[in-house]
Each structure stands twice: as structure tokens, then as C-alpha cells.
């Protein structure tokens, strides 16, 4: 069985996953509402303004770690004979924990930048937002692993 990293981590597939991941991220941010939504939208705009293409670069830098972190849940789906997308959606909490373990580790290594400070402010509410993104993320991964 090929891993997510083997399936999606190189070449045209990688570029397609990054492109699709950015669309998922944009859609999730756009869907946020209320005071927390305003904070997320402002933080996203701030991060996008660091330099042109910064968000794409970050997604590319972190993709291998994200795919590796999601691998256990993906492998479970395959072992159980279940569609990976549906399984990832049902396990949104585990998906969120896996992805946030990657971003937490990266943030811990960052040096006093505005991105780190923004991450630290938003981190307490991050899990519920990542869980909310699980359906789009799961659909995206399923499209690319078929």
C-alpha cells in the first residue's frame, strides 16, 4: 500500500494537491463568521501579505509533514475497506490533532515573527476550525488518491 506521501508528495500530483489545498484554505477562511471569523480573516490577510506567494510556499514546505501526520488515519480507512474521504470526515478530531501537531511544532521552532505571534493568538480555537475543515480536506484527499 502506497503512503499518502508516496501518492501525493511529488511532481504534478504535489502541485495539484497544493493548488487544491489553497482553494480549501481560502474557502474555509471565507466561510468564517462572527468575531472569531473576523480575526481569522484578518490573520489570513496578514499572512498573505508577508510576501507574494507566501501561503503557497508554506503549504509546500509543510505538505510532507501534513501527509505523514494523516497517514495513520488514511491507512486505517484502507485497512477497514472504507473510503478514505468518509473515514477522515468521521475522524475529524483525529485529523485536526494530526495537522495541528505539525503546525504546533513549526510554530515552536519559529523565531519571534509576526506569523508566530498571530498563530499563538489563534491557536486556542484552532482545533474546532480544523475539524470544521475536515469534510473539504477529506474530499480533496480522496480526489487526489483515486
pLDDT of residue 41: 92
Distance, in Å, from the CA atom of 104 to the CA atom of 142, rounded to the nearest integer, reads: 25
List, for residues 12-51, the tens digit of each pLDDT value.
999 999 999 999 999 999 999 999 889 889 988 988 888 8
pLDDT of residue 88: 94
CA neighbor of 48 nearest in space, from 39, 56, 38, 37: 56
Taking residues 108-119, report their average pLDDT: 76
Residue 10 burial class via C-beta count within 10 angstroms: exposed 0-12, middle 13-18, buried 19 and up: exposed
Taking residues 139-146, report their average pLDDT: 92
Residues in the chain: 146
pLDDT of residue 112: 66
pLDDT of residue 101: 95
**Is residue 89 a contact partner of residue 138, using CB atoms and an 8 Å limit?**
yes
**Is residue 95 a contact partner of residue 70, using CB atoms and an 8 Å limit?**
yes
pTM, entire model: 0.87
Residue 55 has pLDDT above 70, yes or no: yes
List, for residues 75-96, the tens digit of each pLDDT value.
999 999 999 999 999 999 999 9
pLDDT of residue 76: 96
SS (H, E, C) 37-102: HHHHHHHHHHHHCCCCCHHHHHHHHHHHHHHHHHHHHHHHHHHCCCCHHHHHHHCHHHHHHHHHHH
Residue 131 has pLDDT above 70, yes or no: yes
Distance, in Å, from the CA atom of 88 to the CA atom of 68, rounded to the nearest integer, reads: 14
**Is residue 103 a contact partner of residue 40, using CB atoms and an 8 Å limit?**
no
Amino acid at each position: 500500500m502506497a503512503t499518502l506521501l508516496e501518492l501525493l508528495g511529488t511532481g504534478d500530483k504535489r502541485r495539484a494537491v497544493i493548488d487544491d489545498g489553497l482553494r480549501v484554505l481560502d474557502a474555509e477562511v471565507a466561510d468564517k463568521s462572527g468575531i472569531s471569523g473576523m480575526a481569522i480573516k484578518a490573520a489570513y490577510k496578514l499572512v498573505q501579505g508577508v510576501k507574494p506567494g507566501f501561503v503557497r510556499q508554506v503549504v509546500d514546505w509543510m505538505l510532507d509533514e501534513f501527509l505523514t501526520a494523516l497517514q495513520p488515519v488514511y491507512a486505517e480507512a484502507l485497512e477497514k475497506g472504507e473510503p478514505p474521504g468518509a473515514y477522515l470526515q468521521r475522524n475529524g478530531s483525529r485529523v485536526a490533532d494530526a495537522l495541528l501537531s505539525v503546525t504546533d511544532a513549526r510554530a515552536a521552532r519559529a523565531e519571534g515573527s509576526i506569523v508566530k505571534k498571530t498563530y499563538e493568538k489563534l491557536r486556542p480555537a484552532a482545533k474546532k476550525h480544523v475539524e470544521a475543515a475536515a469534510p473539504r480536506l477529506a474530499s480533496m484527499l480522496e480526489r487526489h488518491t483515486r
